[in-house]
Amino acid sequence: MDAIEVFGRVIGAFYVVAGGVVLRLAPGNHTMDAMLEALSGKPDGVERRRTWILERVAILTMLGGIALAFLSRWALVLFALNIIAQIAYLAWAAKALPPESAEEARGRNQTRNALVVYMVAFVLVLALDGQGRLLPWSASGPLAAMVLVLAGATAFLWWARRGAAGLPRLPFDPATIDQEVARVPDLGPYTPPARVRLSPRRFDHSLYDADNGDGVPLNRLDLEPELLNRLYHFEDAYEIFYDDEAEVLDALVFPDEATRDDWLAEGDALAVALEGVFGPGNASFVPPAATRIAPVPDIPPP
């Protein structure tokens, strides 16, 4: 095995990892899609289609990487299909998802650059095949590895979609709240606070007593099911958008300005709705300490 074969195997291994990194984002992407739909109250077919396409590109990237790492002729087909898929995605995204900010434009450029690098890697595959260095189609080692990875990726995506499908959805399903309340033991009578503050905190409550700062359990309040469901959605979205990289606590990162504005507007609307329960002036919404916009790249560049 000489230098060019070693280089090909290394490039193949790299694309196995790169595809796995993109696929690993699937649970978060499906949950994000569900949260955005919950906030807007309507399905977002464009975002779901984007997620679907990128997941398939990730699988093709992994399979092509395995084929190249084994120096299998299957790399010819898989790399070619992946290039076609990425070109088709960029053409579709240019119309369906045009960049709306400088950051989104940079992310789209990174995707194009990643495609160019991938095409260069395809030239390497063609060179290896031209020199007769690739294993035949029927070689069992790469086929077995690709089948195993394909089966694992399919099961992982099924799990990711199933997890997102289990989130509360609009329109409100009373059984969702009934099940939530049923999991709470009978703690006796509960006296709700006179004034509340809507201010979600990570791994904590979203509603607090405005006078003493104690957390207020949502499922112990006598709220209309629709309002309770909206509060759960709002709380879940806070967890999804939480900014782990921020230097301050209580910071959120949104994929775009529209999503941020929708979430903040929902907080104001919920405060108004809570005033209908606790009385005028007895409910307020406190926005997070900091927010920022960080569009998710289409395809992480190599």
pLDDT in tens, 177-186: 444 444 444 5
106: left (phi over 0), alpha (psi -120 to 50) or beta: alpha
Look at the pTM and tell me if it is higher than 0.75: no
Cβ(110)–Cβ(297) below 8 Å: yes
What average pLDDT does this structure show over 56-75?
Answer: 94
For residue 153, CA distances in Å to 21, 147, 161 come to: 12, 10, 12
The model's pLDDT over 246-270, given as tens digits with 9 standing for 90+, comes to 778 888 888 878 888 888 999 999 9
Over pLDDT 90: what percentage of the chain? Answer: 41
The model's pLDDT over 205-260, given as tens digits with 9 standing for 90+, comes to 889 999 999 999 888 888 888 898 889 888 888 888 888 887 788 888 888 788 88
- Of the pLDDT bands very low, low, confident and very high (cuts 50, 70, 90), residue 116 is very high
Q: What is the pLDDT of residue 270?
A: 94
Of residues 123 and 157, the one with the higher pLDDT is: 123
What is the rounded CA–CA span in Å between residue 293 and residue 288?
Answer: 14
Domain residue limits, the chain: 3-165, 175-293
Cβ(146)–Cβ(15) below 8 Å: no
Write b or e for each residue in 249-288: b if 16 or more Cβ atoms lie within 10 A of its Cβ, otherwise e: ebbbbbbbeebbebbbebbeebbebbeeebeeeebbbeeb
Question: Cis link prior to 217 (omega < 30° from 0)?
Answer: no
